[in-house]
Amino acid sequence: MDTIFKRNLRLELNYLGLTVQELADKAGIAKGALRGYLGKQSSMPPADVAIKIAAALGVSVEYLVTGNDKHPTKNNLSECRIYAENQKNAIKTELIKTISKNIDEAFINLRNI
């Protein structure tokens, strides 16, 4: 059975377009540990690790654990900056994917002429 933490972690990874390795690097934790939180035998990370993961994703720990309060508190400027940077990167990633797809389609169309 999936934990709320596992579900929300997976949702945020997908939303931001991050790989497990990218998140592990960004959070400063081992890739294997992160996979453990996402696997069949998923477990909850220790508090210090949950804080690192939440900060790297730009969400609150409360959101990862409970599904409530997704956005960081406004009085925590560091979390807000991380959140904004993650949102900016997610938009860039989607834009690059769209442009890439359009270029690929254009080349295919040129070949068919």
* Verdict on whether the full-model pTM lies above 0.75: no
Structural domain that includes position 89: 4-111
pLDDT in tens, 5-59: 898 899 899 888 899 999 999 999 999 999 999 988 778 889 899 999 999 998 8
Q: How far apart are CA 47 and CA 61, in angstroms?
A: 9
Structure tokens at 72: 């960081």
CATH number of 76's domain: 1.10.260.40
Supply the mean pLDDT for the chain: 84
Q: How far apart are CA 79 and CA 85, in angstroms?
A: 10
pLDDT score for 79: 63
| Total domains, the chain | 1
**Which residue in this structure is represented by tokens 């409360």?**
62
pLDDT in tens, 80-100: 667 777 778 888 888 898 999
